[in-house]
Each structure stands twice: as structure tokens, then as C-alpha cells.
Amino acid sequence: MADDPGRGDRGDSEDLAKPVPGRRTRAPDRWRTSIRFSSGAAGGGYAFRPGEMVVEHGALDVLRGIVNADLDARAVGNTVTLVTGLADPVGLSANARSRGFRAQPNHVVFATQDHSVWGNPAAFGNPAAFGNPAAFGNPAAFGNPAAFGNPAAFGNPAAFGHGHGCTCCPPVIGCGCHGVPTVSTRRAPHRSAAKRAPYDEALMRVGGGAPDPARVVVLDTGLAPDDLCGDITGVAVRPAEPWGPTKLDESLPGPFPYTATDNHDHPDENNDQWLDPVSGHGTFIAGLICRLAPGAHVELGRVLETTGEGNDADIAFRITQLASKPPAVLCLSLSCYTELDAPPLALASAIAELQQLGTVVVASAGNDSHCRVAWPAALPGVVSVGALGPEGPAPFTNFGSWVRACAPGLDIVSDFFEGVDDDDDGVLDGGSFWGWASWSGTSFAAPIVAAAITREILLYGLAPDAAAERVVDDERLFRFPGLGTVVNLH
């Protein structure tokens, strides 16, 4: 989830959002209106869109019989359909599954999936994360083979500050948190955790340009407008395209009458006078890939709101649209938890189809500092990426047997808005961003691994899967227990 691993005192109070007289009217809170949070029954919490479920095509006739009414059904891909206008999508999904069909509520996917979403306050608060001298301070760290062989290094949930009492690491089906499920709403975060970063000439290196550039697609928050630092060499915004089936507009022609996105994002789309929580997230990631993989051609599309949320059906729909021209690498710095920890139905189908066409998919593992499987990172064949700090695992990173690689994820520096203020008051003072920012999260470790794979394609002409095997799966590479192969670039 990407991926804002904590705001500290950077603006989560209601007082900071008081409007200035004469300024724009704040937009309604999208999280309150379009997301429901369930505590889960057996696999832990998850988020879903009210009234919506994702099912396999063959279940539609059965669903019509259950609800005794016509269905508002919209194709997501070749095998999966979104159904809307349902009173109880969670219950109906369970009913369909009991009859042998694949069905789920339409899960919400986040680029800010951290303790601000799921309530784990110990992500930074547990001093054992770096305070236990046995973790990194013991001089036997590399001399004693038990230093990396002892599963307690990652098996003790206190190592990462998980406060839910989970003892399932590495997981089988999930975290096993139990209780009666409840459904609630939550307020969207309203302020970014990106920090201003100074100009650094070492970060300005430009590649020579390969004769046959490798194509990378990033699906995220979109690209900043050109006048706000969206004109990054090697990065192109994808052409305007339908957002996805949750945004139906019946007045539009064609097979996909869905509201279009121009694939750009803007600093303050909800008009609350603060830089939105993940505005610039996609720009930051695309710029990072281009810097680390000179000669790559990065296309940036928008599937996330600037408050950090997307959903299974829309993102899967957009992935299916890539099949006509598959990229070498697809980078997804987003993640979700699901009901019963089952793979998200639409994303699993769309990603599997794209992988069959030769695309390597890289995804962030999430920032909740525990071992519960996060999707799409845990899907078969996906290169799931955790985060490192200078001295070892980042304190917020998710981990487990399902994480295949790790890369730096603390205070990563990359392209960002230029001439934009943190509090959007129109005064370009010391808090303004001038083309650079630093950010922390597995969202920013994933593009580093994507860039490393892309560099192998560019340098050696490898097929994408062969490049991923060289960077991630070669048995001679160094691995960190619970975090996979170390990919150390910046």
C-alpha cells in the first residue's frame, strides 16, 4: 500500500483543514462516500466499495435468481464482471461462493495503506524495530550463520511492531485476526507525507538512450501537468482513456462508456487547501524508474485518486487494456487486503493474462509492518517488493515468504511538483516544492526493482522474464529472510 508510512504530526488534525475565507469549497470526502471498511471474520480487515461485487461471468444468471431482479453488470475483462447497485455485496458474494462461483466484494486498493488506514500505531513506535542489539548490533551478524537462519528475526511480530498479536509468519492464508466483522467508514487523510528535497546533481544523470527502449507502464496517480514538473525526459502520459467500470457514463458511445481520465493528477483535487496525500505519487515513481534505467520509455496512467484509493475492478480493467501492446514491465505501487485473504478476483485474472504475454509485474508489498499477504504483490509470478533502510529492513515494511525482493524505501528522492506549496495557500515560501521530494514506503522500493529489471533488458537485450530472473531469482544473490533478494540501487 504504499504508500505513506506515517505522517507523525504532519497534519492529521481537523484544525489544519479549516478553509480560508474566499477560497474554494472543499469537495466531499470520497472515503466517506465510496469506501467501507470491514473488520473481517477470519482473515483480518479489508476495504470494499459499497453496493459492488466482482464475479465470474458464469455466475450472473445465478445472481439474478438470488436477487430476483435484473443486474447492472459491466465487463471488467475476459472472465470477470462488476455488478453494482447491490444492497449487500459481502453477503451476496458469500452466497455465490457457496454455490461454487468465484465472487467477492469490489475490494479497494490503496497507495496509502499504512497504519493511518488499518490502525497499527506501532509502525514507528516500537523501539524494538531497531533497538534490539541482536537485530543489527551483534558483531556476529555476518559471522554467525544463525544470524540470518533464525526465523525469529522476522517471525516475532514485535520485530516490526505489529500490535494485532499475529503469530502466523510466514503466512499461509493470512493474519488470522478473529472477531465479529463490523463495517464502518473512515475519513480520508488530507495531507501528503512527501518532504521537500534539495537539488542534487548526482540525481540528474541522464541515460544515453538505448536503440530499442524498454517500455515500462506505471499505473498510479498519473503524471503532473507539464508546467508543474510533468515534462520528465523519458516519461510520457498515456493518452486519455476510460477510467473503468465503476465510472459509468451511459451518454458515452462505444463498448466502454466509462468516464475518461486524461491520466494527469493535480496537487489539490479535493480543494481542501492542502497538498493531497498521494498527489505526485505517480510522477515520483515514473521519474525514479527513468533515472535508474536510462533509456527506458515510461508510460504513466492514472488508476488512483489523489487521496490514495482505487479498486479491483477499475485497475484490472485498465490492465486488460494493455494486452494489445504489452509492456516489458508493469509497476504497481499499490496494494490491498481482501476478504478471507483470497486473491482479488479481477486483478488476479488481468495480471495472469498480461504475464502470459511476457510482461513482468512488480508490486509493492505494503507498509503495515506485518506478514499478512497483500495483493497484487502476493499473486503468482508477481515480483513483490519490501523496503529497506540504511541499516536493514524499513520499520514499516510488510514481510513474509511471499515477498520476493527488497530495495531502499526510506527517504527516497525523485521528481515532484515544481512551485507547489505544501499547504496550497498560494505563497511560495520555505515549505514549497521545487521539482524534488523525498518519500518513504514500499511504493518507492517497487520502482527501484522495476528499474533494475528494465536495466537488464536494456543492457543485455534480455526478455523481461529472463531479466527478472537475473535480478531477483538467481540463487547466488543475497537474500534477507522474509524480504527476499536485496536490490540495492538509488
Closest CA to 405 of 425, 421, 376, 385: 385
pLDDT grade for 191, boundaries at 50, 70 and 90 = confident
Is the pLDDT confidence value at 207 over 80? no
Joined together, the cell numbers standing for residue 122 give 506501532
Q: Rounded to 5 degrees, what angle do the CA atoms 331, 335, 339 make?
A: 145
Rounded CA separation 299/301 (Å): 7
pLDDT grade for 328, boundaries at 50, 70 and 90 = very high
Q: Which helix (H) or strand (E) holds 281?
A: helix 281-292
pLDDT for residue 4? 41
List, in sequence order, every residue forming a beta bridge with 56; answer none if it has no partner. Answer: 80
Ramachandran angles phi, psi of 471, nearest 5°: -80, -35
Segment 372-401 shows an average pLDDT of: 97
Q: Which of 94-98, 133-137, 353-357 has the lowest mean pLDDT?
A: 133-137
User: In the Cβ-directed half-sphere of 409, how many Cα atoms lie within 13 Å?
Assistant: 35
pLDDT for residue 23? 52
Segment 302-325 shows an average pLDDT of: 97
CA 392 to chain centre: 22
User: In the Cβ-directed half-sphere of 86, how many Cα atoms lie within 13 Å?
Assistant: 28
**Of residues 428 and 1, which shows the higher confidence score?**
428
Ramachandran angles phi, psi of 314, nearest 5°: -65, -45
Ramachandran angles phi, psi of 60, nearest 5°: -65, -45
Q: Establish whether the linkage from the previous residue to 253 is cis, with ω within 30° of 0.
A: no
Rounded CA separation 484/490 (Å): 18
pTM of the full structure: 0.84
The residue to which cell 470491514 is assigned: 38
Joined together, the cell numbers standing for residue 164 give 494485532
Rounded CA separation 101/105 (Å): 13
Segment 197-202 shows an average pLDDT of: 75
User: In the Cβ-directed half-sphere of 87, how many Cα atoms lie within 13 Å?
Assistant: 4
Domain that holds residue 222: 1-490
Q: At 408, which CATH number? A: 3.40.50.200
Is the pLDDT confidence value at 428 over 60? no
Helix, strand, coil proportions of the chain in percent (round to 5)? 30, 25, 50
343 and 378 Cβ atoms separated by less than 8 Å:
yes
Mean pLDDT over each residue of the chain, to the nearest integer: 82
| Number of neighbouring beta carbons within 10 Å of residue 459 | 14
Segment 431-452 shows an average pLDDT of: 94
Joined together, the cell numbers standing for residue 438 give 523525498
Is the pLDDT confidence value at 251 over 70? yes
Joined together, the cell numbers standing for residue 11 give 497534519
Is the pLDDT confidence value at 172 over 80? no
Is the pLDDT confidence value at 152 over 90? no
Is the pLDDT confidence value at 178 over 50? no
Rounded CA separation 451/285 (Å): 10
Split into its structural domains, the chain has a count of 1
Is the pLDDT confidence value at 309 over 90? yes
CA-CA distances (angstroms) from residue 215 to 30, 69, 300, 359, 438?
A: 33, 45, 11, 10, 25
Segment 227-245 shows an average pLDDT of: 94
